[in-house]
Structure 1
């Protein structure tokens, strides 16, 4: 094994690069995919190792590149080993920037969302939508993983039937939204690379689907990896509202309901990474996400039962010995 790469893959790399290469693991994310930098004397490439070759990524990458949206280019694939080799787009993403640098690049990221919304999506995207079934699947998964966390950490917070009903009503409202556009689905700072030409390169778009215009916006402005102030969020929302499709259709009501559903889904992802995968580096993201959910519920003037649950869980985790030290940095 080399950097958690199997012997079979290492043997393939030896033949491909004539043994004159170096393998460096890249930042781990909340998925089954693993990424590595393959460096030779004259070149750099990114190797994606997955459980199954992701044809969706390949097809959508080609589509986006054809519309002049910068993504990694596909260099080669190995279907037998489920390997995808990608162009090197730089080692840093938006999360590496200082706050002031980050704020300067965010309008550029919003413009990228707006450009995605103008595209006539390929069939692989247009046939998938954030419909009621998908939205409720994500909500229910978070509830399931919350119960796993309760058992592991001895938590007492409860999600009442009233709070669940409000989440169901939220999903039903979003399902009926009249405008659906090309949606990246996971548009946060770590999925936007700073390429070596100082531009932005978009990654992790293989699950793109149709969603309401606010979906990618709330993914970015309520990003638990890089929390923003409420005041700055308002500025970004107004910038986006003036330029997006369907801005006249209950824009802010839809925005905060989508922020609620999306952030609740993200909370479930962080629960899963801690409870199932034992990746404790996601603990701060749980606290950050709960803090943002509390703000969303307050601004949206949503169900009191939902606020009580989020507030109770956040307070309980902040006092827990395994989370207490993390809460002071938020």
Structure 2
């Protein structure tokens, strides 16, 4: 485990003292004895604590050396102003990495999704996404300016696949011909990503980062990595979620419906359904290639093994899309011939063709 995580225990007392001061300053109703109840972590280095106060609040320790706290605070305030239900930032100490946030509860959208509920729930979420994408870009402020999802960043993300997933998790050494093939593949995906209209992108817009709140718009969290990037990125993050799978025909129906919505509000001109679906598919492929590397790194570098169980579904998405486009056949054939036999030797592996069927 990283040192940043182990520091959490050392700062709890300081965090609790700071929280008490902030509650008094903001005249928040709280009990005589303040309790910080630790919650499960996420893929980052943040530590969360639920407070026994009303209305509910979370105390957060987000190590400033590794977490984008200025970006989180700036974006939270910006999104709220645009009608997106981001958590209110009650107080922040940037130097120590302490935050006091509105508590959206403990019901992620993932836990509420069923075949019967998904149309309604995704409908609400897609309206929130549309507000996010329609919002003007946040003004630069000290410590934060919205980055651009440029070719360098897109490639850098995909290269996590050949830095972590292939050589370190699967213990396979790429030869020069394979590296050339992957570079050409990355170029194809990058080109299509940059063709798309560029909007504000949450960058991790999926069922674990959307909180269900009955009778209210979904709560949107974990947006500190937001960028200016392709219009289909957040859409495919939601509809081809790494943690839940829906039939391809249903996914394409939702994707096309959202395409009509973004055309109606002027984010896309003269929508061509075939092009929209290719943008959607190839953007998802870029994301899933990246995620294979990230999930491998979360285990090998950070000791977080839970994400390994999600790899088969990500592999399924990767091969389903690559198989659908003749120009990507070389990558798909290589992955199936070379990497799948190595995946089958891994303790986390299950038949990727069945992954997500029970989700």
Please tell me whether the aligned partners of residues 71 and 202 of structure 1 are also in contact (alpha carbons under 8 angstroms): yes
**SS class of match (1:146):** helix
After the TM superposition, which residues 116-265 of structure 1 pair with which residues of structure 2 at under 5 Å, given as runs? Answer: 116-124=132-140, 127-150=146-169, 153-155=170-172, 159-175=178-194, 177=195, 179-195=197-213, 197-244=215-262, 245-246=267-268, 248=271, 250-265=275-290
- State the Cα distance separating 1:196 from its structure 2 match: 5.3
Please tell me whether the aligned partners of residues 160 and 305 of structure 1 are also in contact (alpha carbons under 8 angstroms): no
Distance 2:86 2:131 in 1: 14
Aligned residues: 324
Q: 1:64 to 1:246 in 2, by over 3 A?
A: same
Unaligned runs of 5+ in 1: none
Q: Which moved more, 1:137-146 or 1:320-329?
A: 320-329
After the TM superposition, which residues 46-125 of structure 1 pair with which residues of structure 2 at under 5 Å, given as runs? Answer: 46-52=58-64, 54-100=69-115, 101-124=117-140
Matched, 1:35 2:48: yes
Please tell me whether the aligned partners of residues 167 and 174 of structure 2 are also in contact (alpha carbons under 8 angstroms): no
Distance 1:156 1:181 in 2: 37
Q: 1:22 to 1:186 in 2, by over 3 A?
A: same
Deviation per residue, 1:52-86 (Å, 9 max, x gap): 16011111111111122111101112234211110
Matched, 1:13 2:13: no
- State the Cα distance separating 1:246 from its structure 2 match: 1.5
Matched, 1:281 2:327: no
CA-atom RMSD in angstroms: 2.7
Please tell me whether the aligned partners of residues 46 and 63 of structure 2 are also in contact (alpha carbons under 8 angstroms): yes
The structure 1 segments of at least 4 consecutive aligned residues displaced by more than 6 Å after TM superposition are none
**SS class of match (2:107):** coil
Distance 1:259 1:232 in 2: 16
**SS class of match (1:303):** helix
Unaligned runs of 5+ in 2: 1-5, 21-30
**SS class of match (2:309):** helix
Distance 2:211 2:59 in 1: 16
- State the Cα distance separating 1:198 from its structure 2 match: 4.2
